[in-house]
């Protein structure tokens, strides 16, 4: 058994590792940048005239009073299957048929 293939494998592995390391180093290198001295001031000058309301993220506004009232005191509605009207007997009609106390006295 020759140890040549083993050696070449080791060499290849070492070369791969070396390449990986070089690639990573190249990726991690930060490019040199040239920022104009007045860059921030220039950006500030470009800001639109209408400013954002606030820089703070948590800012809540309450709803108009009328809206709140409607939401709070919304009337309870009946269930649709419950009849809301019930038949009321006609009292006049009923009174004709049934003898009254006064009628009895006359007869």
Residues near another protein (CB under 8 A) are 19-20, 22-24, 26-33, 35-36, 39-44, 46-48, 51-55, 57-58
Q: 14 or 24, CB closer to another protein?
A: 24
Cα angle 92, 98, 103 (rounded to 5 degrees) comes to 100
Q: 34 or 106, CB closer to another protein?
A: 34
Whole-angstrom Cα distance, residue 67 to residue 20?
64
Tokens of 60: 């809540």
The distance of closest approach from Cβ of residue 6 to another protein in the complex, given in angstroms and rounded to an integer, is 22
Q: 13 or 70, CB closer to another protein?
A: 13
Q: Encode burial over 64-96: b for 16+ CB neighbours within 10 A, e otherwise.
A: eeeeeeeeeeeeeeeeeeeeeeeeeeeeeeeee
The distance of closest approach from Cβ of residue 82 to another protein in the complex, given in angstroms and rounded to an integer, is 45
The distance of closest approach from Cβ of residue 71 to another protein in the complex, given in angstroms and rounded to an integer, is 25
């Amino acid at each position: 058994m020759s140890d040549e293939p083993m050696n070449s494998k080791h060499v290849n592995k070492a070369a791969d590792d070396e390449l990986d390391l070089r690639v990573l180093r190249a990726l991690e290198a930060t490019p040199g940048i040239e920022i104009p001295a007045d860059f921030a001031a220039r950006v500030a000058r470009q800001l639109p005239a209408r400013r954002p309301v606030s820089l703070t993220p948590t800012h809540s506004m309450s709803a108009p009073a009328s809206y709140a009232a409607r939401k709070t005191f919304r009337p309870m509605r009946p269930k649709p299957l419950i009849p809301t009207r019930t038949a009321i007997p006609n009292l006049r009609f009923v009174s004709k048929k049934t003898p009254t106390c006064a009628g009895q006295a006359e007869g």
